[in-house]
Chains A and B, each alone.
Chain A
Amino acid sequence: MALQSVFVIGAGVMGCGIAETIASHGIEVYLIDKTTRLAEKGIKTISENIDREIERWGLTNSDKRAILSRIHPSSDLALVSEAQMVIEAIPDRLEPKQELFDELDRLSPPSTILVTNTSTLSISEIGAVTRRPEKIIGMHFLNPVTKVQIVEVVRGLRTSDETYQYIREFAELINKKPILVHEYPGYVTTRIIVPLLNEAMHVLMEGISTPEDIDNAMKLGFGFNVGPLALADMMGLDEVMAWMENLIGELSDHKYNPCPLLRKMVRAGHLGVKTGEGFFKYDADGHRIRNNVVGAKAEVEE
């Protein structure tokens, strides 16, 4: 596949992760946001992410130079007039996405594939505002994009086989295992993980066990890398609740009812890692604060 460059719209957490992943596989990336300042802030985010990875021996300084040299920040959406492929990664709401796709449809050549990075929205609905629904497709990257090895490739009702095949090949090019999804609320990942997190919250709310033990049960019992409550904290409890509400709105099935404890915590502003408190507590760098001072003392006394 001869792919010279990819345009990523939106320099938030997801946009930056997508841009870094693509650039680290030798492809030029134009990272576009509303203002040059926002786009350049994205570059700073990526630079810091790479520094952390160098400290963990995962990348080298020359990797960093090569990756950063391939990412070009800009605020000029009209650049997509040269694009083979555009990946949209703006906040996950329908109207702004539709507005953007309408604009991309007008600015880019008819052959350009337009990809939306969404975890819940309908590809068909986003594509409906364009004159090329067959070239509209979803790629649901998971955070942190550089580390998670899968991407859900979501086919809308009118997405063509060519577009799907092209994006599958693209996913493999950037070393992600593509997961086929025929558009349906929650896709595969969100649909399965969200009820699991919700159930863990019910178990906690009903006083059946402690947060630590619930997470240990799933980690050590079933081989999860992260326990469900810690995972919910990482994702953001407001996000988890939004996904549940989206699922119940679409499917009207009571099994997607957000756990009352989740609602209460979101209302209290305890949103997880990003606010420093969720089911566990976190310091300013997002590292978990372990309340095991007492246990540690006991150990020393032994």
Chain B
Amino acid sequence: MNILVLNCGSSSVKYQLIDMDKEFALAKGSVERIGMSASVLTHNPHDKPQRKISREILDHIQAIDQVIAMLLSEEHGVINDKSEIDAVGHRVVHGGEQFEKPVLVTKDIMVELRNLIELAPLHNPHNIRGINAAGANLENAPSVAVFDTAFHSNIPDHAYIYGIPYQLYTKYGIRRYGFHGPSHQFVSEQAAELIGRPLEELKIITCHLGNGASISAVDQGKSVDTSMGFTPLEGLLMGTRSGDLDPAIILHIMAREELSLHEANTLLNKHSGLYGISGHSSDVREILEAVEEGHTNAKLALNVYCYRIKKYIGSYTAAMGGLDAIVFTGGVGENAAQIRSQCLTDMAFFGITIDEKMNASHSSGIGKISAEDSNVGVMVIPTNEELVIARETKRIIEKG
């Protein structure tokens, strides 16, 4: 059974075609910088050289068309016919309260998914476009939606209830949901393997730092708290998202600038974060370059970014009453040594010390970067949300 996994992020589509009999990726790749200048499609077939094309790819519909064409291409493809794709597993960001588990996509489910758009305006529309584009291209392959929120469905009520009238929870489902579930799940399982102890004995903090960013407290293999909340806007500072904010600020700005709901929403989701503070870029790589060149606000943005992560690590250590490991993952977490180092500066009191040399020299793959005498293991683990999604998809398809 071959499963195509599509992970449509805010400016990227990641894909893998996985042979589930061997859990082996026939091809993986991504389309990056969608809607920005010079989008790049990188395609890695398992038995052929990498193929990279750069062209303008303006939205997710175009991106998925290109991906399917690439999988079928005579020169670079890995299958001969669309029928070799047995199912498509989609990452869907927000499952609300009704989706605590993955689900086979039907017309009715699509309606429910669309109703969830307002909870995740930056993601669910792209996920839904991905499902539609896949459905149009692959008429015979069923689609399964795997939700970011599902891994966090065990968070206790004292961590998911907000300090507002309780009836808003019962009426509108307003509570913390959390996101990046498959990623937090995957890297915490990998961390346990690396440590060589059962996951059920461990307290782990997982930092998923990508274009969006969230941090989770994983106690005995279960998420007990996470930084993203009702929507993926809460918590850490992100590329263009504000993260934690005094809610009165937005009311104040809306009144002063006479902003509509839509404008306020875009302000917080697309004009804030690293980009908003620096006025320069939403991309951590570009921020780090600008800091080198002496860009003052880029430096400020970077400091805010790292300080937030540090605060969350402290509070989740308290929440779990201890800590065995910290995991960095996601594009930034896996590649930006400087950020990992800055987040964990002066944490010896918590038993966290990193080996600066190992941190700086870590290039790819799984790696431990904590110092010999650190009580807490610090590690870099590349995430594999796609494999988690493929496994869940297979399970749903086989169940019928």
Least CB distance, B139 to chain A, in whole angstroms: 12
**Bound form: Cα–Cα A66–B60 in Å:** 11
Contact of A165 with B by CB under 8 A: no
Query: Which residues of B are found within 8 Å of A56, using beta-carbon distances?
Result: 257, 259, 263
Partner of B262, one of A58, A60, A65, A70: A58
Contact of B260 with A by CB under 8 A: yes
Query: Which residues of A are found within 8 Å of B129, using beta-carbon distances?
Result: 26
Q: Mark A12-38, 1 if CB is under 8 A from B, else 0.
A: 000000000000001000000000000
Query: Which residues of A are found within 8 Å of B58, using beta-carbon distances?
Result: 65-66, 69-70
Least CB distance, A243 to chain B, in whole angstroms: 26
Contact of A2 with B by CB under 8 A: yes
Contact of A57 with B by CB under 8 A: yes
Query: Which residues of B are found within 8 Å of A59, using beta-carbon distances?
Result: 266
Q: Mark A43-87, 1 if CB is under 8 A from B, else 0.
A: 000000000010011111011011001100000000000000000
**Bound form: Cα–Cα A66–B136 in Å:** 22
Query: Which residues of A are found within 8 Å of B266, using beta-carbon distances?
Result: 57-60
Contact of B1 with A by CB under 8 A: no
**Bound form: Cα–Cα A62–B270 in Å:** 11
Which residue of chain A lies nearest to B132 when distances are taken between CB atoms in the complex?
A: A2
Query: Which residues of A are found within 8 Å of B271, using beta-carbon distances?
Result: 57, 60
**Bound form: Cα–Cα A57–B266 in Å:** 6
Which residues 248-266 of B have a CB within 8 angstroms of A?
257, 259-260, 262-264, 266
Contact of B61 with A by CB under 8 A: yes
Query: Which residues of B are found within 8 Å of A60, using beta-carbon distances?
Result: 240, 266, 270-271
Contact of A264 with B by CB under 8 A: no
- State whether A57 and B263 are in contact (beta carbons under 8 Å apart), knowing that A26-B129, A66-B58, A69-B58 are contacts in the complex: yes
Q: For the complex, would chain A's binding face be called helix, strand, loop or mixed by DSSP majority?
A: loop
Contact of A290 with B by CB under 8 A: no
Pair B263/A58 contact, Cβ less than 8 Å = yes
Contact of A93 with B by CB under 8 A: no
Q: Mark B260-288, 1 if CB is under 8 A from A, else 0.
A: 10111011001100000000000000000
Pair A66/B61 contact, Cβ less than 8 Å = no
Interface residues on A, range: 10 to 19
**Bound form: Cα–Cα A70–B36 in Å:** 15
Query: Which residues of B are found within 8 Å of A58, using beta-carbon distances?
Result: 260, 262-263, 266
Contact of A287 with B by CB under 8 A: no
Query: Which residues of A are found within 8 Å of B35, using beta-carbon distances?
Result: 62-63, 65-66
Query: Which residues of B are found within 8 Å of A2, using beta-carbon distances?
Result: 136
**Bound form: Cα–Cα A69–B36 in Å:** 12
Query: Which residues of B are found within 8 Å of A65, using beta-carbon distances?
Result: 35, 37, 58
Contact of B59 with A by CB under 8 A: yes
Which residues 360-384 of B have a CB within 8 angstroms of A?
none
**Bound form: Cα–Cα A2–B11 in Å:** 23
- State whether A66 and B59 are in contact (beta carbons under 8 Å apart), knowing that A2-B136, A58-B266 are contacts in the complex: yes
Q: Mark B1-44, 1 if CB is under 8 A from A, else 0.
A: 00000000001000000000000000000000001110000000
Contact of A147 with B by CB under 8 A: yes
Partner of A62, one of B36, B259, B262, B267: B36
Query: Which residues of A are found within 8 Å of B262, using beta-carbon distances?
Result: 58
**Bound form: Cα–Cα A222–B240 in Å:** 37
Least CB distance, A180 to chain B, in whole angstroms: 20
**Bound form: Cα–Cα A57–B11 in Å:** 18
**Bound form: Cα–Cα A56–B256 in Å:** 12
Query: Which residues of A are found within 8 Å of B240, using beta-carbon distances?
Result: 60
Least CB distance, A146 to chain B, in whole angstroms: 10
Specify which of B35, B61, B240, B264 lies most central, judged by the most chain A CB atoms within 10 Å of its CB: B35
Which residue of chain A lies nearest to B257 when distances are taken between CB atoms in the complex?
A: A56
Which residue of chain A lies nearest to B11 when distances are taken between CB atoms in the complex?
A: A62
Least CB distance, A288 to chain B, in whole angstroms: 13
Least CB distance, A188 to chain B, in whole angstroms: 23
Pair A147/B136 contact, Cβ less than 8 Å = no
**Bound form: Cα–Cα A63–B35 in Å:** 7
**Bound form: Cα–Cα A62–B275 in Å:** 14
Query: Which residues of B are found within 8 Å of A63, using beta-carbon distances?
Result: 35
Query: Which residues of A are found within 8 Å of B267, using beta-carbon distances?
Result: 57
Query: Which residues of B are found within 8 Å of A53, using beta-carbon distances?
Result: 263
Partner of A57, one of B36, B56, B61, B259: B259
Which residues 185-242 of A have a CB within 8 angstroms of B?
none
Which residue of chain B lies nearest to A60 when distances are taken between CB atoms in the complex?
A: B270
Query: Which residues of B are found within 8 Å of A62, using beta-carbon distances?
Result: 11, 35-36
Which residue of chain B lies nearest to A62 when distances are taken between CB atoms in the complex?
A: B35
Least CB distance, A169 to chain B, in whole angstroms: 12
Query: Which residues of B are found within 8 Å of A147, using beta-carbon distances?
Result: 260
**Bound form: Cα–Cα A2–B271 in Å:** 32
**Bound form: Cα–Cα A83–B147 in Å:** 38
**Bound form: Cα–Cα A2–B240 in Å:** 32
**Bound form: Cα–Cα A47–B100 in Å:** 43
A-B contact pairs, 12 of them (CB 8 A): A2-B136, A26-B59, A26-B61, A53-B263, A56-B259, A60-B240, A60-B266, A60-B270, A60-B271, A62-B11, A62-B36, A63-B35
**Top 9 A-B pairs ranked by shortest CB distance?**
A57-B267, A62-B35, A58-B263, A66-B58, A57-B271, A60-B270, A56-B263, A66-B35, A58-B266
Given contacts A57-B271, A66-B58, 13 further A-B contacts (CB under 8 A): A26-B59, A26-B61, A26-B129, A53-B263, A56-B257, A57-B263, A57-B267, A60-B270, A62-B35, A65-B35, A65-B37, A70-B58, A147-B260
